[in-house]
Structures are given as C-alpha cells and as structure tokens.
Structure 1
Amino acid sequence: MGAIENVMENKESRIPVEAKELLKSLASEWEDVVDRNSLQVIPVKGAMTNEVFQIKWLTKTETFSHKVLLRVYGEGVEVFFDRNDEIRTFEFMSKHGQGPRLLGRFHNGRVEEFINARTLSASDIRDPEISALIAAKLKEFHDLDMPGQKIVRLWDRSRNWLIATKNLSPPEEAKAFRLDAIEEEISTLEKALYRNDQHIGFCHNDLQYGNIMIDEVTKSITLIVSFFFSSLSYNA
C-alpha cells in the first residue's frame, strides 16, 4: 500500500495548484469521502494535446470511490481557441447529451464528469456495428444548434494558426515546410469550396478513435471534443 501511495503522490505533483484546490472543493461536497485532500491520480493515456488524469477519492464504504476527469491543457494551446467560447460550447453540449458534464474549470484546464466507458481502438472503428453507432452520434453532434453567430471559422482559424507557426519557426524551417505558400493554398481552398447555399454546422474536426468512447453495457457512444479543432464550419 505504501508503494502505491508514493506513486500517487508523485503523480499529484504534476497537477497545478489551482486544479488541486478545485478538486478538493468538489470532494468536500461528498459526505462519504474519507479525506478530500487524499487524491489518487491516475494518468490517462491517449490524449495528444493535453495531460489527462483520472482523480479518485476513497469513500467510507471502501467499496466505492468518487471519480472525475482532470484535463490540463497543453502548453501554448491558448493560441488556438478562446477559453470563453470553449466553456460556452462545452456547457451547451453537455445540456444536449454530448460529451461529459463540466464540473469546474481553472486557468489552464477543466474538471469533467468521469465516464465509465473505454476509448476506442483503430480496430474498433472497422467494426460495422460500432461504425454505425459513431455515425448516428455524429449526426446528433452536427445537428446541434450552437448559440452565437453562424459564421465559417475554418479559414480565419487556419490563417491564425499559420501566423502562429511562422512566428515560432526559424527561417530555415519555414522555408523547408513552404509556409509562405500555405496562405495562397488556404485562399484557393476557400474560393473553391464557397457556395451561396452552403450549410454551416458545428463540426468536430478531430474524430480520431482516441476521441471516441463506448459504454460496453449500453453501447452508447460519447464524443470527446478538442476545442481548438471544433468549430462552425462546412458540414460534409
């Protein structure tokens, strides 16, 4: 038991102080928690841009534990999205049955409901039954009437990313990756895809298997959203 506690303690050092205070505040709302200051921290694999942890607290029954998911944003991701838009979007999605509930947020991340489901693998998405479930869930996602102005953000966002990339790239790398040519390519795509009758919808834009979870019992699908990828954009 001592060895396990040491491992957990080492993992806890990776959590921002502000996040720890938020977690303790959440735990104080559960009367059956043994010690709100005793966090069990378990890294969750599969996240590409954030650090993600399962947080657990032991309860007085010892047969049940409270769990939440802690998401700490990767360094520099504020370049890609507006935090106020992120929270507004997250809350709207939660109210309409998309993704986990938002339990709290701090400067560099958020705390979410822990979903008892597993993350899909590459082989899962080749399964016709699972693929059909994903398609149905994605249809619900694309039909969300997201509040706010209905504008295409894809092109401005792409140009902002390009500017940020140029600012961070040494001249030799910018030349090797032909960054100067990408601005022209963005404009070419924008003109080619523009139509007066286009439908603008809320898009995921990062639907790789690591962002899809399935409940093995109910067969329900949950889509995990990376907010600097999701946007109002062209629906396929």
Structure 2
Amino acid sequence: HTPFGYTSITDRSCGDGGLGRTDGPGLFSPEDTGPPLDRKRVVNALIVNERKSRTPSPLSEANCDDDSEAESFRDGRTEDVDRDTRSRAFAWCRDFLSGSWKSIKEEDFQISIVSGGLSNLLYLCTLPEQVHAMGEEPRRVLLRIYGAILQGVDSLVLESVMFAILAERTLGPKLYGIFPEGRLEQYLPNTRMCTDQLSDPAISAEIATKLARFHEMVMPFNKEPKWLFGNIDKYMDQVLKLNFTRETHLKKYKKLMKLDLAAELEGLRVLLAATPSPVVFCHNDVQEGNILMLEDRTQTSRERLMLIDFEYSSYNYRGFDFGNHFCEWMYDYTYNQWPFYKATPENYPTREQQLHFIRNYLAEQRRHSDITIDQTQIEEDMIIEANRYALASHFLWGLWSIIQAKISKIEFGYMVRRILLQSHAFYIYFKSHKQVCESCICFVLVNLTSQ
C-alpha cells in the first residue's frame, strides 16, 4: 500500500529477498509459479538492488495490456528505468530542486528503481559524484510517482497537505516538490526493516509508541470516520464492474464473484458497529515497508523508527490500525518471483504478542494523561477491537487487490493475494469463535484456493 523513499542501498540483512530460494510452486493456482505464499501486502521497504532483469520497466508500454495483473513478470522485477520516466524525473529534479540540479545534463543524471511500493512507483535520484552542491539543495531525493489507483483522486490533495504538515513537525521526511503525477521527498539513510522484525519485542514496543503518538495528533481534516467503509463501498462498486479479458485473471475473478461479498460486507458492518473503537487520526497502513529504521541517529537516542507513507492516513477507527498492523506480521513483499510476496498465517501475533503491543501503546498514552483506568479490562477490550478490525483490513485490501490486478503496472500477484486475504480473514474469525461451519464462506474459500 503501499508504499517510501528512505532506503538502504547496501543492507540486505533480511535474507536473500527471494533470490536463490527453492520453495515449491504457488499455493493457489497452477498458473502461478513461485514459493508458497508466505507473508505481506505492500512494501515500502526501500532497498535499491543491482539485479538485472529481462522484463520491461513498470512504466513501459510492454506491460500495458487489457489486464495488468503482472503474470508477464514471472522472471523477476525489472530494474531498468525507461527513457520517458528518466526524462520526466530529470525535469522534475531540475525544476524543483534547482541549484546544482540545473547545471547537469540528462545523460549525467542518476536514477534507479527503489523496490517496494504497490500504490506508487519509487525512484532514487542522485547528483553525479563530481558535481558539488551550490547551496542547500539535496544530493539525493526520492521520486514518488503515484500509482493508477491514486492518480487524480481528491485524496492526493489531502495526503500532500498531510505530508507537508508532518514534515514541518519533523514527524516525516521533508517535501521538496509536488506535481500532479507525484512528488520529490527527502532521502533518509536507513536499514531495511524485515517482516520478521515486526515481532521483535523492542521494535514492536517502539512501533506501538509511535502509533500512540500518531493517534494523538490533531489534523485539519474531516473528523468523521468515513474512510474505512467509504473506501470499501467504493472498491466494492468498482470490483463488481470489472471486466477481465485474460483467461487466468477471468478464472480467478469468477471464483471470487461466486462469493456473496455484499452479505459478508453487511455482516462486517454489524460486527464492527458492536465493537467500541475511538475515532483517532490513523495511519491506516503500518507495515514494515512504511517504518524506517534510521541510521543517522545519535547514540544517546533510544528511538530509531519513523512512520512514513501517509497516503491512506485519515480519521478512522483506532481498531483498524491495530488489526491492520497485526495482519502485516504475516506478509512478506520482498519475494522476487511471481506472485512477488509470501504469506505465513501462523505469524499472526499471539495473544501475548498483542498484549505486549497494546501495553506499550497504553504506556505512551498514560504519559500524557492522569486518568486511572482498569488496565486489565482495557487490554481485553483492545484485543477484541484489534482482531475484529483485522477482518475489515482483509476485506478492504482484498477489494483493493482485485482492482490493482486490473489497473496496476506494478508487478504483484494481486488476484492471488485477494483470495489469500479473504481466506485468512475467516480463519481468524472462526478460530476466535471456536466453530467451523462447512457452509460458511470461509470453508468455500479454503476449498476454491486449493483447486
């Protein structure tokens, strides 16, 4: 979602990033090659790789067919920047950054693709080494080009205002330039966070602390919690009107359309209406790719994390941020072969891990309040709140994935991901309720995904 610009050029401590793995074929379709789906949704975990690829750039016309689900990218993600993107990037850097950027020629302009990002395309733009800065212009910046699902929508205006406000409050990267197609952002040296690190107790505690602070912010936006079901309703309407032409996509789409999504949505509304959750300013996409592990921190500072990527941020129910983040423990988007992610449902946080997160969240809240509360009851209520809203996370991003499968030029197995998300959503629900019903949609999904 994600998805940025704060990348590690050299750190690859998260393993091979998918290179050299020998896992078996994908779980859900004989057409999908790659390992068993094992972990995550979007990655804004920014690492620049030097790997070569036989596939075209995400912006090139080679990937512009009727259906954009990237099955043509089974041999790996591209790392070559096409000529049009390079020219536009050079013009934006020259015009918005000025200084030394105006003195270089396009052939000396350095640009590379930043891996990660399912809602946007990301590039690292750099001045040549021999060129010295004339003033305070940055030598390196992140270029974000909005994805098809975001371009032209009103939310981009709000997100740009939000980004600027957070930058001024030093809660996010600096903003260097903004234009209809995207923006230029500060490059922050960082170590790439891995999905597995989300479960590290120290890291989980700091994420909880950062999220508590984020939720305390007062922003100049509509305070009504319209974001969640507003987007679900919008995506649902779009999904029902999609028309796939590629046979493999059409087959998966028809399977999904056999499910009574409208009835499931109504059930979700009823469930969440009965689930108390305060309205706060939510990030709405707290996953490892949207959390920087900053390198340029003083040795005395115990905090090294920064939340980034605010395109989905809004006033929303607090439980969504909890449930969505817990879901992200399962998904790894760094896999280099189709469908470009893995999923491990058993990595969903345990009760003790959830309590650890919640207790650190509450500890940060208590630093700014003298109110005494029954902590035990609050913790129990928040666990229920988080896990019920995890269902909403699955439903929202599942619909989002179907739309992305149709329109996105970013390589990712969106349709496969939709099936996986829906399956795990009901796995969580029925496991928590200690019951299984063979006529339920969960059972249907598990069966159809194994076909």
Alignment TM-score, normalising by the size of structure 1: 0.80
Selected match of 2:92 from 11, 22, 31: 22
3-state SS of 2:211 partner: helix
Larger Rg: 2
CA distance in 1, matches of 2:93, 2:82: 12
**20-29 or 200-209, which moves further after superposition?**
20-29
Matched, 1:186 2:265: yes
CA distance in 1, matches of 2:180, 2:86: 9
The gaps in structure 1 that reach 5 residues or longer are 5-9
CA distance in 1, matches of 2:193, 2:151: 27
CA distance in 1, matches of 2:290, 2:171: 13
Q: What residue in structure 2 maps to residue 45 of structure 1? A: 115
3-state SS of 1:168 partner: coil
Deviations 1:49-71 (A, max 9, x none): 32111100035459xx7000001
Q: Structure 1 residues 221 and 41, CA, compared in 2 at 3 Å: closer, same or farther?
A: same
Q: Structure 1 residues 168 and 202, CA, compared in 2 at 3 Å: closer, same or farther?
A: same
Q: In the TM superposition, what is the alpha-carbon distance from 1:34 to its structure 2 partner? A: 5.8
Q: What residue in structure 2 maps to residue 130 of structure 1? A: 203
Q: In the TM superposition, what is the alpha-carbon distance from 1:118 to its structure 2 partner? A: 2.3
**168-177 or 79-88, which moves further after superposition?**
168-177
Selected match of 2:170 from 69, 75, 97: 97
Deviations 1:10-67 (A, max 9, x none): 6262527554322112342348x862643210211122232111100035459xx700
Task: For 2:223, give the aligned amino acid.
Answer: K
Q: What residue in structure 2 maps to residue 235 of structure 1? A: 318
Deviations 1:81-102 (A, max 9, x none): 6221221222222222322122
3-state SS of 1:97 partner: coil
CA distance in 1, matches of 2:265, 2:90: 42
Is the Cα–Cα contact under 8 Å of residues 24 and 36 in structure 1 kept in the other structure? Answer: no
Selected match of 1:205 from 273, 278, 284: 284
Q: What residue in structure 2 maps to residue 7 of structure 1? A: none
* Pairwise CA RMSD: 3.1
Q: What residue in structure 1 maps to residue 37 of structure 2? A: none
- Of structures 1 and 2, the one with the larger relative CO (CA 8 A, separation 6+) is 2
Percent identical pairs in the alignment equals 25
Is the Cα–Cα contact under 8 Å of residues 119 and 146 in structure 2 kept in the other structure? Answer: yes
Task: For 1:233, give the aligned amino acid.
Answer: N
CA distance in 1, matches of 2:186, 2:163: 12
**182-191 or 98-107, which moves further after superposition?**
182-191
Matched, 1:146 2:146: no
CA distance in 2, matches of 1:14, 1:29: 23
The gaps in structure 2 that reach 5 residues or longer are 1-49, 51-79, 245-249, 298-302, 320-451
Q: Structure 1 residues 18 and 106, CA, compared in 2 at 3 Å: closer, same or farther?
A: farther
CA distance in 2, matches of 1:174, 1:42: 34
Q: Structure 1 residues 179 and 104, CA, compared in 2 at 3 Å: closer, same or farther?
A: farther
Q: In the TM superposition, what is the alpha-carbon distance from 1:134 to its structure 2 partner? A: 1.5
Q: In the TM superposition, what is the alpha-carbon distance from 1:174 to its structure 2 partner? A: 5.2
CA distance in 1, matches of 2:254, 2:185: 41
Q: Which has the higher strand share?
A: 1
CA distance in 1, matches of 2:111, 2:88: 15
Alignment TM-score, normalising by the size of structure 2: 0.44
Is the Cα–Cα contact under 8 Å of residues 119 and 149 in structure 2 kept in the other structure? Answer: no
